[in-house]
Chain A
Amino acid sequence: MQITLRVYATLCRYVPGAVAGVPLDIDLPDGATVSDLIEKMEVPAREVKVAFVNGRRQSPDWVLNQGDEAGIFPPVGGG
């Protein structure tokens, strides 16, 4: 299946050519989870603080579906 992934902040350094907010098309086997996606992108799992799927925060074991839009962040804060 195909999903789109956006990578943000310091996580961009793990994905060659990634620009914050610019979507990447990623092929995944059916039944893949958020953590499978992170592993495929070779982003260290411990660096990912928050993962969104279709705008909702999901845990690493969340199962992805065709056409999902994912976004991953390291720890961020502000005001």
Chain B
Amino acid sequence: MWILRLNMTDATYRLEELPPAYKNLAGRAMTSTLVSDEVPPLCHPLGPHNKLVFSPGIVTGTAAPTSSRISVGAKSPLTGGLKESNAGSSWGPGLARMRIRALVVEGKPRDKRYLGTCITWDAAQEKPKVEFFDAAEYIGKDLYEVYPKVYEKFGKGISVAGFGMAAEHGYGNAGISFNDLAKRPSRYSGRGGLGSVMASKALKFIVLNTAGAPGVSIADKALFDEGRKKLLEALQTHDITKPKGALNTYGTAVLINILNEAGGLPTRNFSSGRFEGAAKIAGEAIFEGNKQRLGKDVYNHACSPGCTIQCSNTWYNVDGTERTSCVEYESAWALGANCGIDSLDEIATMIQLCNAYGLDTIETGATIGVAMEAGVIPFGDSKGVIRLIEEMGKGSPLGRTLGGGTGFAGKAYGVVRVPAVKGQGMPAYEPRAVKGMGITYATSTMGADHTAGYTIAPEILGVMGKQDPLSTEGKAALSRAFQATTASIDSTGHCLFIAFAILDIASGYQGMIDECNGVLGTKWTADDVYAYGVAVMKKERAFNEAAGIGKEADRIPEFMKIEPLPPHNHVFDIPDSALDSVHGEM
């Protein structure tokens, strides 16, 4: 097992035996630990001292169901703090099967000559081998044009990680793009501008060719297998994750209608919790629209190998050709309800453009909502949105203003209603209508982040109990529990959606623990797994504090404490002391 270091200052690489202290670290635990240990908290995120770390999770690359996640971490150019953001792709298992537990991109070349790397398994030497190649021909281009060229050059079975023009422009809003199972550049380590960190080191692509690779080593195969079966059973039985269940049928956009009904769907730059066009951009509309256009029921597909949930959709044109894949809840919300847009066709065009340029759709939609507030274009102007996204692709002064993200654009235009925490745009849940989520947005080390502590599960969906979303009681403890548990799940390499099943089905949760113990040879209990997540959060918090992001930044924007949000007309009334208790009592 190795740490592979790519030195971009001189285009060399080094394989290090994984240090014993890191033996049980993987995924987010690994990326946050390495960044915390090796990156000076006050460094410039695009400078030579930042490091970009990729790490597959504990069970990634094994037969564990729905476990093909790759964590990516660095100091974020968007938040200025520690960032982890993960993606589902064959790339993660690829790295794991070559026994690379962490890939660290460090240094910075003096001249901006973009290179790519191809990592293969050297059977004779019994270790990974890295070759650098000139990537100039791929720069300044649409990723949908470029990915096929990379596949042509390196072969059909490869996996590709890279970035688009947004990162080449150095935006705070620039993700790292990974291939899906149809070789599209559609899977993202989206949040926090990690694409720009990769671009700052002039590493355009990391191509993996795993032919001959040995696979993940498993300490106790019987225990792993027992765990895998328990988890699979839970996933296959739970109504949300099962075949032809909610996610497989309607995708994540099935959430549009329920958040709208609850009065928590942020509309027109967080000015209301209900959007009159919600039903037109929801998961049901996608299913029915595809059915009309193709003449049959279309169920969703997997983003990555081994996923049994299969929630990714494709939105089709009237003529039956593909318009985009995929239309996620967050994208449909950000470019839809948040901008006052109710056309799936227009939203699909916007998503395709974001993918072409390598933009995070959440940040893009939240930023454009602020731009609409500022009068740059009117709410509802979908042609205007497309034009703004194209400006972002071009790197014009307007494009750059928007590419800097929600907080940045808010400052540029003197807007007060800026829905961001630590500079990062809020995702698709209104803090005034779902107060536990507001606490997660305010206190997560990641900035305004929904996956970091997804209290929506009990507050709206009835998963893991029932909580009143408008109540303030017990919400700090709820957010803390979700944040710590999530930090653990983010380290296993499982997709976070297993949580819907395993938070309701105890044997599924135990199955996840058994899998990890099986792979690592550890003897973790549920308490140990929770403590593992807590330890990750403490490292992240310490980095942020040293980077100058203290508890004063764990706050919701002022306007949400003043303006009641229709239809329930609540303000965000969680006291600062409760916000401080999330980490204070961790």
Q: Which size bracket describes the interface of A in this complex?
A: 20 to 34
How many Å lie between the Cα of A21 and that of B239 in the bound state?
A: 21
Q: Are the CB atoms of A52 and B261 closer together than 8 Å?
A: yes
How many Å lie between the Cα of A52 and that of B284 in the bound state?
A: 18
Given contacts A8-B257, A9-B283, A20-B285, contact A78 B247 (CB under 8 A): yes
- Tell yes or no: A40 within 8 A of B by CB: no
Given contacts A9-B250, A50-B258, contact A75 B497 (CB under 8 A): no
How many Å lie between the Cα of A57 and that of B241 in the bound state?
A: 23
Chain A 1-12: CB-based contact to B (< 8 A → 1; otherwise 0):
000001011101
Chain B 220-242: CB-based contact to A (< 8 A → 1; otherwise 0):
00000000000000000011110
- Tell yes or no: B279 within 8 A of A by CB: yes
Q: Are the CB atoms of B262 and A75 closer together than 8 Å?
A: no
Q: Are the CB atoms of B239 and A55 closer together than 8 Å?
A: no
Q: Are the CB atoms of A22 and B451 closer together than 8 Å?
A: no
Given contacts A21-B282, A75-B461, contact A55 B567 (CB under 8 A): yes
Minimal beta-carbon separation of A35 from chain B (angstroms): 16
Minimal beta-carbon separation of A74 from chain B (angstroms): 7
Given contacts A50-B462, A52-B262, A55-B261, contact A78 B254 (CB under 8 A): yes
How many Å lie between the Cα of A56 and that of B250 in the bound state?
A: 23
Q: Which residue of the partner chain, among A6, A22, A52, A76, contacts B254 with CB atoms under 8 Å?
A: A76
Q: Which size bracket describes the interface of B in this complex?
A: 35 or more
Chain A residues whose C-beta falls within 8 Å of the C-beta of B282 in the assembled complex: 20-21
Given contacts A78-B247, A78-B252, contact A21 B240 (CB under 8 A): no
How many Å lie between the Cα of A8 and that of B258 in the bound state?
A: 8
Given contacts A20-B285, A76-B255, A79-B451, contact A55 B329 (CB under 8 A): no
- Tell yes or no: A44 within 8 A of B by CB: no
Give the secondary structure class of A's interface: loop
Q: Are the CB atoms of A57 and B329 closer together than 8 Å?
A: no
Chain B residues whose C-beta falls within 8 Å of the C-beta of A57 in the assembled complex: 262, 460, 462, 466, 468-469
Chain B 244-278: CB-based contact to A (< 8 A → 1; otherwise 0):
01110111111101101111000000000010001
Q: Which residue of the partner chain, among A6, A10, A52, A56, contacts B249 with CB atoms under 8 Å?
A: A10
Q: Which residue of the partner chain, among B261, B450, B457, contacts A77 with CB atoms under 8 Å?
A: B457
Minimal beta-carbon separation of A53 from chain B (angstroms): 10
Quick one: which of A43-79 are within 8 Å of B by CB? 49-50, 52, 55-57, 71, 73-79
How many Å lie between the Cα of A12 and that of B241 in the bound state?
A: 19
Q: Are the CB atoms of A77 and B284 closer together than 8 Å?
A: no
> What residue in chain A is nearest B250 (Cβ atoms)?
A9
Q: Are the CB atoms of A79 and B261 closer together than 8 Å?
A: no
Chain A residues whose C-beta falls within 8 Å of the C-beta of B283 in the assembled complex: 9, 78
Give A contacts to B, CB under 8 Å: 6, 8-10, 12, 19-22, 49-50, 52, 55-57, 71, 73-79
- Tell yes or no: B63 within 8 A of A by CB: no
Minimal beta-carbon separation of A9 from chain B (angstroms): 6
Q: Are the CB atoms of B330 and A77 closer together than 8 Å?
A: no
Minimal beta-carbon separation of B464 from chain A (angstroms): 11
Given contacts A12-B284, A22-B279, A55-B263, contact A77 B463 (CB under 8 A): yes
How many Å lie between the Cα of A30 and that of B283 in the bound state?
A: 34
Chain B residues whose C-beta falls within 8 Å of the C-beta of A20 in the assembled complex: 257, 279, 282, 284-285, 288
Q: Are the CB atoms of B450 and A73 closer together than 8 Å?
A: no
Give B contacts to A, CB under 8 Å: 238-241, 245-247, 249-255, 257-258, 260-263, 274, 278-279, 282-285, 288, 311, 328-330, 450-451, 454, 457, 460-463, 466, 468-470, 496-497, 500, 567-568
> What residue in chain B is nearest A54 (Cβ atoms)?
B567
> What residue in chain A is nearest B246 (Cβ atoms)?
A76
Q: Which residue of the partner chain, among B284, B311, B466, B470, contacts A9 with CB atoms under 8 Å?
A: B284
Chain A residues whose C-beta falls within 8 Å of the C-beta of B457 in the assembled complex: 77
Minimal beta-carbon separation of B224 from chain A (angstroms): 26
How many Å lie between the Cα of A22 and that of B285 in the bound state?
A: 12
> What residue in chain B is nearest A47 (Cβ atoms)?
B239
Given contacts A9-B246, A75-B246, A76-B250, contact A21 B278 (CB under 8 A): yes
Given contacts A20-B284, A52-B261, A55-B262, contact A79 B328 (CB under 8 A): yes
How many Å lie between the Cα of A35 and that of B152 in the bound state?
A: 59
Chain B residues whose C-beta falls within 8 Å of the C-beta of A50 in the assembled complex: 258, 460-462
Chain B residues whose C-beta falls within 8 Å of the C-beta of A22 in the assembled complex: 279
Most buried by B among A8, A9, A75, A78: A78
> What residue in chain A is nearest B257 (Cβ atoms)?
A8
Q: Are the CB atoms of A21 and B247 closer together than 8 Å?
A: no
**Nearest 9 interchain pairs by C-beta:** A21-B279, A78-B252, A20-B284, A75-B239, A77-B240, A78-B255, A71-B261, A55-B263, A77-B500
Q: Which residue of the partner chain, among A12, A56, A77, contacts B461 with CB atoms under 8 Å?
A: A77
Chain A residues whose C-beta falls within 8 Å of the C-beta of B328 in the assembled complex: 79
How many Å lie between the Cα of A19 and that of B311 in the bound state?
A: 22
Chain A residues whose C-beta falls within 8 Å of the C-beta of B250 in the assembled complex: 9, 76
Chain B residues whose C-beta falls within 8 Å of the C-beta of A49 in the assembled complex: 239, 461-462
Chain A residues whose C-beta falls within 8 Å of the C-beta of B330 in the assembled complex: 79
Q: Which residue of the partner chain, among A52, A55, A74, A79, contacts B454 with CB atoms under 8 Å?
A: A79
Q: Are the CB atoms of B240 and A76 closer together than 8 Å?
A: yes
Chain A residues whose C-beta falls within 8 Å of the C-beta of B262 in the assembled complex: 52, 55, 57
Chain A residues whose C-beta falls within 8 Å of the C-beta of B460 in the assembled complex: 50, 57
Q: Are the CB atoms of A79 and B284 closer together than 8 Å?
A: no
Minimal beta-carbon separation of A68 from chain B (angstroms): 13
Chain B residues whose C-beta falls within 8 Å of the C-beta of A75 in the assembled complex: 238-240, 245-246, 461-463
Minimal beta-carbon separation of A65 from chain B (angstroms): 17
